[in-house]
Amino acid sequence: MRLLLIHWLFPLSLAAAAAVAELTPTPLAKPGCPHVCGNLSIPYPFGTRKGCFLDDNFLITCNATTNKPFLTDGNIEVLDISLDGQLRIFSWAAYDCYDKNGNQLSYFEPWTTLSKFTLSFSRNMFIAVGCDSYAWVRDYWGDTYATGCLSICYTNDSVVNGSCSGIGCCQTSIPKGVKNFNITVTSYNNHTRVMDFNPCSYAFVVEDGIYKFSTLDLVNFQKEGFPVVLDWAIGNKNCKEARKNTTAYACKENSVCLDSDNQPGYLCNCSSGYKGNPYLANGCKAIHVSVPRVTMETEESTAENKQSPWTKAIIGASSAVSLLFVIISFVSWGLQRRKINELKKKNFRDNGGPVLKQLLSKIERTAEKAKIFTEDEVKKATNNFNASQIVGKGGFGIVYKGTLDKKLVAIKKSRFMDHDQIEQFVNEVFVLCQIKHPSVVKLIGVCLETSVPLLVYEFIGNKTLHYHIHNEVGGSSMPWKTRLRIAVETADALAHMHSDAPIHIIHRDVKSENILLDDEFQAKVSDFGVSRLVPLDQTQVSTLVQGTLGYIDPEYLLTSLLNEKSDVYSFGVVLLELLTGQKALSSDRPDKDKSLAAFFIDSMKEDRLFEILHERVRNEGNSEQLKGVAELAKRCLRIKGVKRPTMKEVKSELEELMMGKCVHV
């Protein structure tokens, strides 16, 4: 029996109607509750009065005079609220300004307390602007975290619009779990050397991607503050625990529960096929898709309902339009795929792919070569760069956890790439992939089809040395023998890079956060994002100052001349962290001792070494051994690099100290 397809909608509406999803409007606030304040839409669990919010943490105070919304009953202005578990607030920028004689004209150091909510570690950055500036953000109430960066430049010509890599502008990431923060900004020379084009320093936390550095900001910074993203969650229990209390459980019908990844608590999402507010009863409504009405009729029924010529014309026209729509869609898809493939090929060429392939082909077949992965492979490995796969975030990029070739890997996605340095990048990848050292994180491969290259490393899952030293629980549990062994392994890795690798490598950012630990607490030096290669016939290179505040070699800072002794200085600071359990930079110490290096040198002069050692180190370490490590650290921290030991010498002395031998200097 022949079936006829009968369309009774107007033919030109056919293509449009097939793609339209119609959602029944659902209220976002509780019934009878105000749902706006100024330009802000306020969804439950937030609300402006009692009975309209879940608990006091979700109170939004709407100022009657200004019609502006504020978080709880404080002074933090709310810009936007999302049911995805995030909200935006306005956060002030810190600044300090000087006159031509170096006298401070004004300064402002804001602090913010967030109570229940936390700064999003994946959506914000800490940025400092200035040519004579260093800044840090820290815990206002205690010493649970501190991070910062420095920005140096001597001429306006050296500054590049849009670049925030340490010349006129620097940036770093925000750690997890931050609930309050204080921003401090200051300068080295009170801006006297750059006064003609930069009299002030500025620092601020800002939503990632919002601020773009401009050279004009050095002369006249126009912004008083920026949007900052907070993470919010319900309660302080995970989903499994929260479900046990059915009365307090916040996820309503047709919704699912998700554990928060930045603080205790959970979030609710409407289930697949539903949309709305999952925190309201019957708040998740089914999504209804409008489609063309189609009926199937037999030839006999058609005979009983004779079609007019006009009806037949409409049927023919609509069929033609439908066919044309399918053809256009298919052609458009094909053109789009071709465009994407052409872009991948262009990125591959621009990122040095052909040259790197040629270099890798020269490596002996018996050696394990680095692989060149496709963008599709990397996307699949990271679930399309899903935020849940993020395991680290810094000023130079984001690190994702993934699986490639059935192995756990860490995939580093850089924030920017200077394509004028692409030849150097290719050479560095070629060298790094050949480093075979048990205490260096192995480079497995790269992906060059993206706008910036992606680096694929072996995955090391036991966090960083910084975490295990300074974490309140883990720091006190690390034995002195383990600390000393980690120091030896790290020194061995750096010595190998300085002397034994195919070409000398200066790490340039040695710090406890860049020393990963595996499950056996074996050290793995990581993060070569700012490393430099030094030709075998050279002892130093002139380069822009980069590194981390508290670890940077002061001689390198003043001269911009980088050599292997710069890594020795930074390693000396790591030794101090292992000995004392204190951070490289801390505002809890007096101003003259904020730097751990300065604090340590002063303590050694006053013969107070055993007063500043970590309690467990002091109790477990042999006194002669501890003195030996401290004296070695002191030599690593000498102001003149030529007077510091080499990393080979450092490694050798640490090994002798670990074996209980006395080292005579």
Tell me which residues are annotated as active site: 509
DSSP-derived secondary structure letter, 637 = T
DSSP string, 334-379: HHHHHHHHHHHHHHHHHTTHHHHHHHHTTS-TTS-PPEEE-HHHHH
The DSSP bridge pattern shows strands 371-373 and 390-394 to be unpaired
CB atoms within 10 A of CB 293: 10
Name which of 659, 649, 358, 397 is nearest 530 in CA terms: 397
Beta strands in 554-635 (DSSP E): 561-563
Longest dimension (CA), the chain: 111
CB-count burial class (<10 Å; 0-12, 13-18, 19+) for 156: middle
Q: Give the HSE-up count for residue 252: Cα atoms under 13 Å, Cβ half-sphere.
A: 14
Candidates 587, 552, 555, 554; CA nearest to 571 is 552
| 50 is an annotated ligand-binding site residue | no
d(CA 527, CA 460): 12
Distance between CA 101 and CA 649 in Å, rounded? 45
CB 580 within 8 A of CB 634: no
Residue written as token pair 């094909």: 334
| Backbone φ, ψ for residue 382 (5° rounding) | -110, 15
User: Token pair 């904020």 is at which residue?
Assistant: 594
User: CA dihedral defined by 637, 638, 641, 646, rounded to 10 degrees?
Assistant: -60
Q: Which of 50, 53, 51, 115 is nearest to 89 (CA)?
A: 115
Q: Measured between alpha carbons, how far is 314 from 11 in angstroms, rounded to an integer?
A: 7
Strand segments, DSSP code E, in 432-506 are 443-447, 454-458, 504-506
Residues annotated within the binding site for ATP are: 413
